[in-house]
Structure 1
């Protein structure tokens, strides 16, 4: 039988502890009110607005999302831009990073609520002030929550889904996919930049103002043949050009000094002359042996037009990847009302979620792939050169050796795509 005296002592200790907690809470409120009076603010009527306190009864997460999961998976996918199974995977892996400890003063928001609200913000681009009424979460809480969840997604998935190859086999696999799908050889990725609009940061002058007439940060990304991003840089400001950002980045330096892991130069299909592996880009970039771009549009020959079409056909992969990205996460289509550091955090999280969806559900939001049905012929290596004037592959003018080598390489590719070996049946009618 338990000792009645001990039970009384334990009861009195519990009462005293409860009274001590109440005193602490009262002192906290008194200090907060005193500080508020010093700042000239009015005293709060409610610590939590009553309609926010009824979040579990009428909020989107606990009501609408439960109904969509049970009754309409397609609408759930449209609401968060991902199926329920993908949301559950994200919650299982990201949830432990964003869970908070319960305290005497308040109960923390559930990890599922934080994740769902963040995904909806990325998918819709709605402002915090408008989202607070449906989700019943104050706008200042949302601002902290979105940054926390985006950082957790980056920390959890970055090394898994946004990885730049570092070995010859990894780059060769990408090049083989480009040749298989887009009929352009030795291509290790399509590079381009995209301006993501944001409000003008305080005291930034024209640093973020771009040539299109709005404030932005620049997303520079390298895409593979399957619309996935394999490298990205979101540190550029709107006033910087694509070439300026690429020239200052580590990717260009490693590609040109040979530390990026490109395969050794190999012959083009059905050829016997070694050609380096390279990236492809638009006319903004400098022509190098590691970067192929189209010919200038003035005074083009038919062969140059065909080369431009063939290169642009492969290069548009990165444009399509940007299109899939911004249509899935439409916050990238709006002018984000965030600090530039938060904008960069959101863009990185969107890139990771894009790659994750491309990996888990490659057909969910896909563009129609162009597949060329080439005839199966047996070519003698180098035989396509016979009867062609290849003098421009041996001599070229330019300000430096790098640009001369790039011009020679581009001219060789021009001849190859116009030869029976490298031509595709429809290229003549496309120019």
Structure 2
């Protein structure tokens, strides 16, 4: 190598070391100002020679070389002086933060605090659901980007349903974009429905008999449950006529939902998706529950039921029934109160009072359900197709939480969260049963109500005298 080039390299090396020394000295001053510690000794080491910046003095012994070497300060110098640029993400990925998701990662003994506040459930319940639906939420790693963690997807969907906040506010808290958040909610809803498909229903013979015994203790023999409707408020659906969804009673856009619940506040049947202007009777007649009731595949004693002999028979009442308020028609399997009917007797008034007390479980259910899933209580922008899946998934989760004893905390602001008015259940699959004429007609329904009224009042008098 020519001598001139060697000298040039030597001058360049000296200049680089001098610049590095000055940058290190500035870094020491910054550390000194932050940590409030003296760094005069380190600065003295710098001034003693630039050769000791990285390797130390060759003539010094091992102890002095270790003291003068500044290699251990190099990461701090790089970070404070920004010598190396940050790794830039792929050009199509926007930077996100994950503050809320980091709060849910267990790091101490107070593991339920954030879960109750953000997801309205215990961490043990979240883990049980994740073990079941997690495999369905996993996605393959591609060369474009790393897929979202199944636990993060589930946490975001539960947080969205628990609070009903806008996607723009909640997506960034979990480190994902709006499109990824909407896709995650759909995936979580479909996974929950696929894993817990049989959690919403009237159940088998044993479960049905136990439910009827609970209503028997309340004074209504052979009762299956209570039926009522509620409004889910939202913004006007796109590409839909707003007059169909804006009810004159509330002057708000809504979707009507019909539900059947038992005395333990578990959902037995539901129907979601009617416009807010649809009445109760019209909604009921458009559901599979109504068709199965007319065909005799529900609410009649099954010869194969081993618990049928253990239940008391009521003259004039062919089988089971549902309790409903006056907005529903009087049918052989739907019992409504007498209300302001002419020639009301004392027995009818007592029946209406007992009917109102027992049927109040459906009103309590609306309060608990909308307290737990405030997404269906607060007005929000919605896609009706996707929200149907979300509502079904939340009904399944509600039954799971009731079964696991994971009850929501009391919230005084949502104590009046219920609002009655119309709905429908799922699908209209036909079932082979008795002819339609067997359980059709308002007169048959009123006759069955009179027979049930006499039995309920008689049992009430007997229990009051005891």
* Smaller-chain TM-score bracket: 0.7 to 0.9
Name 1:49's counterpart in structure 2.
94
Work out which of the residue numbers 210, 217, 224 in structure 1 matches 2:247.
210
Tell me the CA shift for residue 251 of structure 1. 1.1
Structure possessing the higher relative contact order (Cα contacts under 8 Å, 6 or more residues apart): 2
- Alpha-carbon distance change, 73 to 268 in structure 1, aligned in 2, over 3 angstroms: closer
Name 2:322's counterpart in structure 1.
279
For the residues of structure 2 that align with 1:271 and 1:85, how far apart are their CA atoms? 44
For the residues of structure 2 that align with 1:48 and 1:293, how far apart are their CA atoms? 58
Tell me the CA shift for residue 298 of structure 1. 5.3
Name 2:120's counterpart in structure 1.
81
For the residues of structure 2 that align with 1:179 and 1:406, how far apart are their CA atoms? 20
Is 2:292 the partner of 1:254? yes
Tell me the CA shift for residue 74 of structure 1. 3.7
Name 1:191's counterpart in structure 2.
227
Tell me the CA shift for residue 336 of structure 1. 2.3
For the residues of structure 1 that align with 2:135 and 2:173, how far apart are their CA atoms? 25
For the residues of structure 1 that align with 2:403 and 2:178, how far apart are their CA atoms? 33
For the residues of structure 1 that align with 2:352 and 2:302, how far apart are their CA atoms? 25
- Alpha-carbon distance change, 144 to 414 in structure 1, aligned in 2, over 3 angstroms: same
Is 2:216 the partner of 1:179? yes
> Residue deviations 1:224-269, cap 9 Å, x none?
1210001111132222112111112121221232112632698998
Higher Cα radius of gyration: 2
Work out which of the residue numbers 331, 334, 350 in structure 2 matches 1:288.
331
Tell me the CA shift for residue 128 of structure 1. 0.6
Do the aligned partners of 2:163 and 2:374 also contact (CA within 8 Å) in 1?
A: yes
Is 2:446 the partner of 1:413? no
Name 2:189's counterpart in structure 1.
150
Aligned residue for 2:197, secondary structure, equals helix
Name 2:237's counterpart in structure 1.
201
Work out which of the residue numbers 87, 111, 114 in structure 1 matches 2:150.
111
For the residues of structure 2 that align with 1:228 and 1:186, how far apart are their CA atoms? 17
Name 2:41's counterpart in structure 1.
none
For the residues of structure 2 that align with 1:214 and 1:304, how far apart are their CA atoms? 36
Question: How high is the TM-score relative to the length of structure 1?
Answer: 0.72
For the residues of structure 2 that align with 1:309 and 1:68, how far apart are their CA atoms? 53
Give the total of aligned pairs.
342
RMSD (Å) for aligned C-alpha atoms? 2.9
Is 2:110 the partner of 1:60? no
Tell me the CA shift for residue 281 of structure 1. 0.5
> Residue deviations 1:19-66, cap 9 Å, x none?
xxxxxxxxxxxxxxxxxxxxxxxxx9942234x1xx4xx5321x2112
Tell me the CA shift for residue 270 of structure 1. 7.7
Moved more, 129-138 or 67-76: 67-76
For the residues of structure 2 that align with 1:71 and 1:216, how far apart are their CA atoms? 39
* Superposition pairs of residues 385-400 of structure 1, within 5 angstroms: none
For the residues of structure 1 that align with 2:292 and 2:91, how far apart are their CA atoms? 58
Moved more, 63-72 or 265-274: 265-274
Tell me the CA shift for residue 68 of structure 1. 7.0
Residue segments in structure 1 that go unaligned for 5+ positions in a row = 1-43, 368-399, 427-431
For the residues of structure 1 that align with 2:397 and 2:227, how far apart are their CA atoms? 20
- Alpha-carbon distance change, 311 to 268 in structure 1, aligned in 2, over 3 angstroms: farther
Aligned residue for 1:418, secondary structure, equals helix
Is 2:273 the partner of 1:228? no
Work out which of the residue numbers 149, 168, 173 in structure 2 matches 1:134.
173
Do the aligned partners of 2:317 and 2:452 also contact (CA within 8 Å) in 1?
A: no
Residue segments in structure 2 that go unaligned for 5+ positions in a row = 1-88, 412-438
For the residues of structure 1 that align with 2:163 and 2:381, how far apart are their CA atoms? 14
Question: How high is the TM-score relative to the length of structure 2?
Answer: 0.67
